[in-house]
Structure 1
Amino acid sequence: METTYVTKAKIKPIIINSVLLISVLFVLSNKAYAQNNDSVTIASLESQIRIRAAEIEKKMIGWREDIHQHPELGDAEMRTSKIVADQLNHLGMEVTTGVARTGVIGILKGGKPGATIALRADMDALPVKEPEGLSFASKAMGTMRGQQVNVMHACGHDTHTAMLMAAAEVLSGMKQDIPGTIMFIFQPAEEGSSIVDPTTGDIWGAQLILKEGWFKKVKPEAVFALHVMVGPSGAIFFKSGATTAGSENFTLKVSGRGGHGGMPWSTIDPVPTAALIVSGLQTTVSRKADLTKSPAVVTVATLQAGSNPNVIPDSVFMSGTIRSYDKDFQNKLDSDVTLTAEKIAESQGGIAKITITPNYPATINDSKLADQMSPVLKRVSNNVSESPLQGASEDFSFYAKEIPGLFIFLGITPKDQDPATAAPNHNPHFFVDETALITGIRAMASMTINYLVSAANTKKNK
């Protein structure tokens, strides 16, 4: 048997290689432990959220029903703002009132340093009369630009406010474990201002909050919001990219020459001209818009003409909305709408003057945020799916143009109703299944925790 001798020269590289191998294994082991430890931390925090959300559910429903019974129009949310501010002050936050006229912002600083994110809820109601039936149905009246109107939370902003108030309490109770800062935005006037004429160029809601510099003062890295919609109770749906439509409002005056209804040949009748324009505007979508680039809608919603059956009026007034999901596409659509109206009026001997007023841009969800939060939301709800494009518009879009944003939807249709036939948002019969709202609390709180913990872990690993 041959004897092998190991010299010192051979032993040295073996020792060095062994040390290197042990070092690599130690680093990998520590990294795996850290990753596993981070995972456990997120899981434990999500477990806390689940417990705390269940504890506050009844209180949240009480807030919601109180706010629902006492709705307020945009820029008139004084009572609602006080309820919110009192709650945030009770939680020990830094609270600012009078934001964008009637809004409230609360700042919660976690027990550890980290990133900053914003959570937003809108507070305003609509000029809609609520039918009787609910024990907490609204009987409120308000003033919409000088006109007395009925007021109802027909779009669910009462639930948004109550859910974010509850999420604020849940997260405040966990603040020692939160690495970072949370900005709670309770925003007025998402549906529009009740005091500002939109044709004046003045602004409200999200746009005014940004103009006041809040995203420069607090500097959030991301912003989240939730909206209740017709859909299976407790279901969550969202999509990456374009989500809600960009919207513009238009007013159109068709001028002719009035006269006797029995002698139309001596007039330039603006009424049939207006009818031709209404019909012609539909072709701007069906024949001129490239719908492979963006869906689009042109709707004429109001039409006012004349005061007597035998008098042909001098003019007709109409107004409506233009919607799409792409800015360049919308600019082309505006041009087509204007040209169509003007040329049809000209062909009848009349004049059409159209004014198009930008409202809200399309809401564009950040693709990275959508991917990051998808597994989080699937742990919150067992019914998560991709949202279709929404024809409604949202001023959350202004926030999402400034920083990465994610706007998700929560289904609130009771299990005994078919979402396909349930009354939609803005309908007086819009109804919320309150058992779905705990899912909304968990969604907002869980997205917050996951974003902040992930950001802290990323910084730590770097």
Structure 2
Amino acid sequence: MNLRRHICAFLLGASFVGAHAQSATSAAPASLLSQALALSDGVQPQVVEWRRHIHQNPELAYQETGTAKYIAQALAGMPGLEVRTGIAGTGIKAVLRGAQPGPVVALRADMDALPVEERNDLPFKSTAKADWLGKPVAVSHVCGHDSHVAMLLGAAKVLSSLREQLAGTVVFIFQPAEEIGPGLGKSSGAMAMVREGVLDNPKVDVVLGQHISNQAPSGTIRYRPGPMLASIDVFNIKFKGTGGHGAAPWASNTPMLAAAETVLGLQNIVSHRLNPTIDGGQTIVTTGMLQSGNRFNVLPETAEIAGTIRALSTTNQKIAQEEIRRRATGIAASYGVQADVKIDSGDGYEVLVNDRDATLSLVGAFGAAAGGAAKVSQMPASMGSEDFGAFGSTGVPVVFWMLNASPMGEKDGPVNHSPLFQIDESAMRVGVRALTAATLSQLASARLQGR
């Protein structure tokens, strides 16, 4: 592409996004948006209080009974909310019906914590313990779900106070078990709530959600149309042969060599079998475990490897699954041993694909929330995974974005899931503003009228 064409293409793209941003800003009446943003600023002290209580009292996936009770009590003090508890165990759905008919917009926050011991020196540091997979573990909110809940409660408080001015319905979803992951034989919290009808009665037109992150300056927002977060599969391959003595390897048929060669054989699946040029073509196949034997002079009769597939397209995900099965069984057969291949996709961890039109229509709302367009940017796709995509698997448009809250100024902070993860709490003000501004934008969206 020559320079002139490159500049023209850039300006065309900029004007396209700018048009979406302008329409998003003007979609909600200016006076209503101004009210909502001012109210969002006003609830910040309460949001901090909610967040610190939840942070100090974390609970693991499908164990969020205390958290759910605390949320229900907070919602009970907000006017106009119809609250239903016990969805998928501990999930909560609160419905706010505006004074006038209109679209139905859902907002979601996940509630569960992780089996990680927090190492931050905070006055509200978690010292909680729980049972996980039959073992006692420390528990903490090192993925930021405490802030997700607090910000959604803040948005519920703001929007419930504006109910008489709303044309449409808002559904607040407090979801369990985002962190359950594949491999345990349980559905993700999002999928479990979907199966129990959380998007019905009233029928939801769009689902919005945000995730806190430390990988950009505090108070900024990053978004992405289309594939944003990867699917995740966990593979486990068990090899079986015959063991023997290290002095006479010809007298045995150990599967150790087959396992080692399989690890190497999986490494070129991405480079030679997957098309990187398709939309969402990025894929990663990672082997994270190889176990076999326990003594230097004993050839083991078993070997095991395990790892993950992460993909931004279902096409490449399926090809990678097939290639792992084919290569593992083929290599095992060439060594005369057996391979038992299991691939667990979980239930609710598909590719998270943001609706393009809905995402771009919110750019202006994000700018209003963050305090200017300069604080909003498009992000590259991530190979991390989230069960928010389960809502999109129903055919309902979804939009998910990242709220940045690094406590280290312009520098990145410790990543999510680190025992040192913490946030700049002032960023939650922007998060509440983003949820309320995005909701008002979607309630006024011509695209959703009459869905």
Q: Which residue of 2 aligns with 1:206?
A: 190
User: How do 1:38-117 residues align onto structure 2 when only pairs under 5 Å count?
Assistant: 39=26, 42-92=29-79, 93-117=81-105
Q: Kindly provide the CA deviation profile for residues 27-49 of structure 1, in whole angstroms up to 9, marking residues without a partner as x.
A: xxxxxxxxx9x959621122112
Structure 2 residue ranges without an equivalent (≥5): 1-22
Structure 1 residue ranges without an equivalent (≥5): 1-35
Q: CA deviation at 1:298?
A: 0.8
Q: Which residue of 1 aligns with 2:154?
A: 166
Pick from 366, 375, 396 the counterpart of residue 377 of structure 1.
366
User: How do 1:283-294 residues align onto structure 2 when only pairs under 5 Å count?
Assistant: 283-293=268-278, 294=281
Q: Secondary structure at the match of 1:399?
A: helix
Q: Which residue of 2 aligns with 1:400?
A: 392
Which consecutive aligned stretches of 4+ in structure 1 deviate over 3 angstroms post-superposition? 38-41, 197-200, 307-310, 454-459
What amino acid sits opposite 2:168 in the alignment? G
State whether residues 28 and 440 of structure 2, in contact with CA within 8 Å, keep that contact through their aligned partners in structure 1: no
> Between the two proteins, what is the percent identity of the paired residues?
37
Q: Secondary structure at the match of 1:282?
A: helix
User: How do 1:41-440 residues align onto structure 2 when only pairs under 5 Å count?
Assistant: 42-92=29-79, 93-192=81-180, 198=183, 200=185, 202-229=186-213, 230-293=215-278, 294-359=281-346, 360-381=349-370, 382=372, 383-402=375-394, 403-416=396-409, 418-419=411-412, 422-440=413-431
Q: CA deviation at 1:237?
A: 0.7
Instruction: Pick the structure with more helix per residue.
Output: 1
- Aligned-pair Cα RMSD in Å: 2.1
TM-score (norm 1): 0.85
What amino acid sits opposite 1:329 in the alignment? N
Separation in 1, partners of 2:408, 2:253: 56
Q: Is the aligned partner of 1:452 residue 2:437?
A: no
Q: Secondary structure at the match of 2:192?
A: helix
State whether residues 130 and 138 of structure 1, in contact with CA within 8 Å, keep that contact through their aligned partners in structure 2: yes
Separation in 2, partners of 1:185, 1:355: 33
Bigger Rg, structure 1 or 2: 1
Q: CA deviation at 1:346?
A: 2.2
What amino acid sits opposite 2:192 in the alignment? L
State whether residues 244 and 298 of structure 2, in contact with CA within 8 Å, keep that contact through their aligned partners in structure 1: yes
Separation in 2, partners of 1:436, 1:450: 21
The farther-off stretch of 423-432 and 230-239 is 423-432
State whether residues 306 and 316 of structure 1, in contact with CA within 8 Å, keep that contact through their aligned partners in structure 2: yes
Q: Secondary structure at the match of 1:413?
A: coil
State whether residues 58 and 128 of structure 2, in contact with CA within 8 Å, keep that contact through their aligned partners in structure 1: yes
Separation in 2, partners of 1:97, 1:76: 14
TM-score (norm 2): 0.87
Separation in 2, partners of 1:362, 1:208: 17
The farther-off stretch of 296-305 and 397-406 is 296-305
What amino acid sits opposite 2:418 in the alignment? N
Separation in 2, partners of 1:156, 1:65: 11
Q: CA deviation at 1:85?
A: 0.7
Q: CA deviation at 1:364?
A: 0.8
What amino acid sits opposite 2:199 in the alignment? F
Q: Secondary structure at the match of 1:214?
A: coil
Q: CA deviation at 1:104?
A: 0.9
What amino acid sits opposite 1:396 in the alignment? F
Q: CA deviation at 1:411?
A: 0.9
What amino acid sits opposite 1:427 in the alignment? S
Q: CA deviation at 1:302?
A: 2.8
Q: Which residue of 2 aligns with 1:22?
A: none
Separation in 1, partners of 2:275, 2:28: 49
Q: Kindly provide the CA deviation profile for residues 328-375 of structure 1, in whole angstroms up to 9, marking residues without a partner as x.
A: 221111111111212222222322221111131101111110121111
Separation in 2, partners of 1:149, 1:272: 36
- Equivalent residues, number: 417
